Amino acid sequence: MHYPVRGGVFRRTRQVCKAVDGVSFALEEGETLGLVGESGCGKSTVAKSVVRLLKPTAGNIVFEGQDITKSGAGDLRRFRREMQMVFQDPAESLNPRHTIGQILEEPFVIQKLGTTAERGEWSADLLRRVGLPEDARNRYPFEFSGGQRQRIGIARALALKPRLIVCDEPVSALDVSVQAQVLNLLLELQQDFKLAYLFIAHDLSVVQHMSDRVAVMYLGKIVELAPAVELYRNPRHAYTKALLDAIPEADPSRRRERRLLKGDVPSPINPPEGCAFGHRMSHPRWQESVGMDLRLRELAPGHWVQPCPCCVG
């Protein structure tokens, strides 16, 4: 996914922002793929491209064997029954002027499903399913706490019985005790409805907890992709190691000297050639990665790593 960055008098394209560059992955039924990385690494852009809220510059998105990359509005409406999204900020993704009932019935209205009575019944079912009282239907979003609003967001995503839900930072605005409740709800729903999740968060411990496999993104590229346990036990890419190292652990007996990363996440406008992380670390072998084929390689069964000499020893 590339964005033109325009400038000058005639708004010519001066630079290209490569928000996401050469990302590939597959997701099975009932599986959770976690996507983790720091702000600006392109995780949300991937999320929006998958459900086609954005149109990728190049590449394909294939859903159940059908290429939806170039689909028009009509086709997409059909696919959106199957794929839904849960957003980070439930306060901003729920219309403040609609009652919860209206919000939950809107997917049925758009898809022309059911009668008014049926829609009401369905929305009541949805509320029960996510642990909210039925009478919530007549109330407005502001009457609910952050955690409850996120439950409403999840209920709306469930309305059309999708097979894939893209969760973009679903718990990062929530307090820890509420976060645990929402994570448990997502796990239950996945088991009950055989949902696949693309689960995006910046918090590696949350992603690790929710996922079968985890992909680590850095500056628009996936640098490592592995089963969750394997990634934690045996990280191969230097960036994954740095990310794991930076997580504060809630256990003072395991306090340790951390290896601190220097500098900030660089801008995706004109990213460096070769391995971007090796470049940030001024690694002596970074130069070797320029011009190399940096597509992921399978180093162990299911464990894919960007094979740059600077970050993978």
Partner 1 sequence: MTEPLLEVRDLRVGFQTEEGLLTAVDDVAFTLESGKMMGLVGESGCGKSVTARTLMRLLEQPSGRVLKGEVLLEGRDVLTLPLEAMRRIRGKEIAMIFQEPMTALNPVHRVGRQIVENILLHQEIGANAALKRAVELMEWVGIPAPDERINDYPHQLSGGMRQRVMIAMALSCNPKILIADEPTTALDVTVQAQILDLIKRLQKDTGMAVILITHDLGVVAETCDDVAVMYAGRIVERGPVETVFRSPQHPYTKGLMGCLPRLDHPPKTMLPIIPGMVPGLRDLPDGCRFAARCPNPHGDEVLTERQPWKDCGGGHGVEACACFAKTL
Instruction: Out of 14, 78, 161, 258, point to the residue binding partner 1 (CB under 8 A).
Output: 258
Q: Which is nearer to partner 1, 134 or 212 (CB)?
A: 212
Q: Which is nearer to partner 1, 33 or 124 (CB)?
A: 33
Told to check if 145 binds partner 1 by CB under 8 A, we report yes
What does the alpha-carbon distance between residue 202 and residue 216 come to, in Å, rounded to a whole number?
A: 10
Q: Which is nearer to partner 1, 183 or 294 (CB)?
A: 183
Cite the beta strand spans of the chain per DSSP E. 2-7, 12-18, 32-36, 62-63, 66-67, 83-86, 164-168, 196-201, 213-218, 221-227, 297-300, 303-305
Told to check if 184 binds partner 1 by CB under 8 A, we report yes
- DSSP secondary structure of 140-202: -GGGS-HHHHHHHHHHHHHTT--SEEEEESTTTTS-HHHHHHHHHHHHHHHHHHT-EEEEEES
Element holding 108 (H helix, E strand): helix 100-110
Residue 150 has which token pair?
A: 């996120």
Q: Which is nearer to partner 1, 126 or 243 (CB)?
A: 243
Instruction: Out of 5, 229, 269, 300, point to the residue binding partner 1 (CB under 8 A).
Output: 229
Size of the site for partner 1 (CB under 8 A): 47
Secondary structure of residue 230 in the 3-state scheme: helix
Instruction: Out of 203, 288, 292, 309, point to the residue binding partner 1 (CB under 8 A).
Output: 203
Q: Which is nearer to partner 1, 63 or 277 (CB)?
A: 277
- Least CB distance from residue 190 to partner 1, whole Å? 8
Q: Which is nearer to partner 1, 159 or 311 (CB)?
A: 311
Told to check if 264 binds partner 1 by CB under 8 A, we report yes
Told to check if 91 binds partner 1 by CB under 8 A, we report no
What does the alpha-carbon distance between residue 99 and residue 271 come to, in Å, rounded to a whole number?
A: 45
Q: Which is nearer to partner 1, 98 or 129 (CB)?
A: 129
> Please, which residues have CB within 8 angstroms of residue 47's CB and are 6 or more apart in sequence?
35, 85, 166, 168, 198, 200
Instruction: Out of 84, 93, 123, 208, point to the residue binding partner 1 (CB under 8 A).
Output: 208
Stretch that binds partner 1, among 56-64, 88-96, 178-186, 282-290 (CB under 8 A): 178-186
- Least CB distance from residue 62 to partner 1, whole Å? 26
62, 194, 301 from 18: Cα distances, Å: 22, 34, 30
Q: Which is nearer to partner 1, 205 or 287 (CB)?
A: 205
Instruction: Out of 83, 127, 165, 206, point to the residue binding partner 1 (CB under 8 A).
Output: 206
The conformational region for residue 75 under phi > 0 = left, psi -120 to 50 = alpha, else beta, is: alpha
Told to check if 175 binds partner 1 by CB under 8 A, we report yes
Paired residues of 15 in beta bridges: 5
Q: How far is CA 110 from the centre of its chain?
A: 25
Told to check if 27 binds partner 1 by CB under 8 A, we report no
Instruction: Out of 245, 271, 272, 309, point to the residue binding partner 1 (CB under 8 A).
Output: 245
Give the distance between the most distant pair of CA atoms in the chain: 68
Instruction: Out of 247, 285, 297, 302, point to the residue binding partner 1 (CB under 8 A).
Output: 247
Paired residues of 85 in beta bridges: 166
Told to check if 70 binds partner 1 by CB under 8 A, we report no
Query: Of 257, 238, 205, whose CA–CA distance to 307 is shortest?
Result: 238
Which residue ranges make up the site for partner 1 (CB under 8 A)? 32, 38-39, 145, 147-148, 175-181, 183-184, 187, 202-206, 208-212, 228-229, 232, 242-253, 255, 258, 260-261, 264-265
